Amino acid sequence: MDLTDRPRRLRRDGIRPLVSETDLDATDLVAPVFVDATTDERVPIESMPNHERVPVDEAVARVEEVRETGVEAVMVFGIPESKDERGTRAWADDGVVQEAVRRITAETDAYVITDVCLCEYTSHGHCGVLEPDAESDPTLTVQNDPTLDLLAKTAVSHAEAGADMVAPSSMTDGMIAAIRTALDDAGFADLPILSYAVKYESAFYGPFRDAADGAPAFGDRRHYQMDPANGREALREARLDVDQGADALMVKPALAYLDVVRAVREGFDRPVAAYNVSGEYAMIHAAAEKGWLDLEETAYESLLAMKRAGADLIVTYFAEDVAHRL
Ligand code: PBG
């Protein structure tokens, strides 16, 4: 054969790492941690093997387990002791996230990011204040503007508790501007915002809604989260958030949206995060349990693909599983 170009030459052992285009490092990963005010014991999350909800007293221990694997950052989610129409426990000074973050930042060196949303705190499970009669009328939804102030208060209370970064995830129009202004006014001008700028209304969030007890009591989130059919709209969402002061942009979910990760990477000069969501984790685990997939190899390949698509950091439930081989 007269072949001059033989790509196989570069696939031999020894040269492979030299020509590898993408690296995955434990310091690229963020591990979600669930802190639950309704329990004094660790409670396994059935749909997410190896993940638990931990009581506030165990939050530091949980974060230390993550740090031991080489993962340095955590994303804290809270399950409050009580819920109401407006989600008031989201911004309570003695709320579950605030208490946990105070301890984690006092006792560990973890970089602490908090999820800023109301769905775990509202009795109806939606990400903001509802329009009157929304429960009986499916055309009604979350009121955008009255929700902004509640998100801003929540972000400030996380900052006061010691959070290193806040990550608003409610897909409320104007949320980044509202939170940036409130943080600046409260003296947190240096605290960065990781915006869940591009968040789709996705079936892949199923297991998380069990984990964080945040499923909507009625209806769905289609009036505020993005339609999975849309790619151009992602650029519009990202642009709005950059204009309002987002320091980094998240795309969520990750695996089924790698085209969007790439587009946001190419369209903006901000760091891009991919959120490898609960359903992406659960499906690999379920197949591995049946012996149909190799868990670690599949998880690693998925995370590598997110980096190849352009993600700088990845929020993933696989963080601890994958970190030790990096
Ligand atoms: C809160 C929030 C959700 C997730 C992260 N933040 C739930 C949702 O929008 O339903 C999902 C995370 C996952 O599935 O892993 N708004």
pLDDT of residue 218: 87
Is residue 250 in a domain? yes
Q: Note whether residue 152 is domain-resident.
A: yes
List the one residue out of 189, 117, 196 whose CA is nearest residue 151.
Answer: 117
Q: Is residue 52 part of a domain?
A: yes
Between the CA of 325 and the centroid of ligand 1 the distance, in Å, is 27
Confidence at residue 324, expressed as pLDDT on a 0 to 100 scale: 84
Q: Which DSSP string do the residues of 182-209 spell out, in sequence order? A: HHHHTT-TT--BEEEEEEB--GGGHHHH
Per the structure, the count of domains in the chain is: 1
**Confidence at residue 297, expressed as pLDDT on a 0 to 100 scale:** 96
Task: Name the token pair of 161.
Answer: 């508790």
Q: Indicate whether 9 belongs to any domain.
A: no
Antiparallel, parallel or unpaired: β 248-252 and 194-199? parallel
What's the CATH number where 311 sits? 3.20.20.70
Q: Is residue 16 a part of any domain in this protein?
A: no
Inside any domain, residue 14: no
> Which range of residues forms the domain containing residue 100?
22-323
Q: What is the pLDDT of residue 307?
A: 98
Q: Which of 299, 255, 309, 301 is nearest to 277 (CA)?
A: 255
Looking at residue 227, its pLDDT comes to: 98
Domain membership flag for residue 13: no
3-state secondary structure of 283: helix
Catalytic position from the list 83, 153, 252, 307: 252
From 45, 118, 119, mutation site for ligand 1 pocket: most ligand atoms within 8 A of C-beta: 119
Separation of alpha carbons 207 and 80, rounded Å: 18
Amino acid identity at 257: Y
Helix or strand or coil: residue 78?
A: strand
Q: For Cα atoms 59, 64, 65, give the angle at the middle one, nearest 5 degrees.
A: 100
Residue 282: per-residue pLDDT:
97
Q: Is 252 a catalytic residue?
A: yes
Specify the amino acid at residue 316. Answer: T
Q: What is the DSSP letter of 132?
A: T
Chain CA centroid to CA 195, Å: 10
Examine residue 113 and state whether it is found in any structural domain, yes or no: yes
Which of 113, 194, 205 for a ligand 1 pocket mutation test, highest count of atoms within 8 Å of Cβ?
A: 205
Cα 263 to Cα 80: distance, rounded to the nearest angstrom = 36
State the DSSP H helix or E strand holding residue 274, giving kind and residue range, or none if neither. strand 272-276
Residue 226 CB–ligand 1 contact under 6 Å: no
Q: pLDDT tens, position by position, for the chain (326 residues)?
A: 899 999 999 999 999 999 999 999 999 999 999 999 999 999 999 999 999 999 999 999 999 999 999 999 999 999 999 999 999 999 999 999 999 999 999 999 999 999 999 999 999 999 999 988 888 888 888 999 999 999 999 999 999 999 999 999 999 999 999 999 999 999 999 999 999 999 999 999 999 988 888 888 888 899 999 999 999 999 999 999 999 999 999 999 999 999 999 999 999 999 999 999 999 999 999 999 999 999 999 999 999 999 999 999 999 999 999 998 88
